[in-house]
Amino acid sequence: MSRSKSSGGLLSELFSASLYKRNQGRQVRQVTAIAIGAVFIVAAWTLSVNVLGGFDQTTRLGISTAVAVVGCWLAYRVVNYPPAADFMIGVQGEMEKVSWPTWSQLWRATIVVLVVMVVLAVALFAFDVIWRYVFTYFGFLKM
């Protein structure tokens, strides 16, 4: 077996700009990177507004921008880190095998679930009333 060029570890991957398996698992990796980046951008904004309120504008802007930039770089590198990228490639491959229901099937299944939930709620309520009556009758429960 040949060794891949990605055997350097996580630290060396963080400072690399290369793409791992560029055209495989593209959608899942892009959505994952966007989601991670969005979390860091929101965290940087929250940090600027809530935590760094006592600092001057330049310091707040600098720190929050640094958090956002580092977070977006980490998001980019995480989706190109070979173990994570291989996992996401596998996820996209499995998602392509899924047979998605049509809208009519989805509505029918939703109605079935809602009806079953209502029937179960009524049955549990009835059991509760019956057992409360039995326990009260025999003196186990004082009302």
pLDDT tens for the 143 residues of the chain, in order: 444 554 567 677 767 767 777 777 778 888 999 999 999 999 999 988 888 777 888 888 899 999 999 999 999 888 888 888 888 889 888 988 999 899 999 999 999 999 999 999 999 999 999 999 999 998 887 77
* Same domain assignment for residues 86 and 16: yes
Is the residue at 3 inside a domain?
A: no
Q: Give the span between the Cα atoms of 104 and 94, in whole angstroms.
A: 24
* Same domain assignment for residues 80 and 107: no
* Same domain assignment for residues 39 and 15: yes
Is the residue at 63 inside a domain?
A: yes
In which domain, by residue range, is 127 found? 102-143
* Same domain assignment for residues 64 and 15: yes
Quote the pLDDT of residue 125: 98
Listed in sequence order, the residues at least 6 apart from 33 whose beta carbon sits closer than 8 Å to its beta carbon are 75, 76, 78, 79
Count up the domains in the chain and report the number.
Answer: 2
Is the residue at 4 inside a domain?
A: no
Quote the pLDDT of residue 30: 87
| Residues 126, 131, 134, 135, CA torsion sign | negative
Listed in sequence order, the residues at least 6 apart from 91 whose beta carbon sits closer than 8 Å to its beta carbon are 25, 28
Q: Give the span between the Cα atoms of 27 and 6, in whole angstroms.
A: 22
Is the residue at 30 inside a domain?
A: yes
Q: Any idea what DSSP says for residue 15? A: T
Quote the pLDDT of residue 53: 76
Quote the pLDDT of residue 92: 87
Quote the pLDDT of residue 37: 93
Quote the pLDDT of residue 6: 47
Of residues 25, 5, 9, 7, the one with CA closest to residue 79: 25
* Same domain assignment for residues 58 and 106: no
Q: Any idea what DSSP says for residue 30? A: H
Is the residue at 1 inside a domain?
A: no
* Same domain assignment for residues 133 and 89: no
* Same domain assignment for residues 91 and 126: no
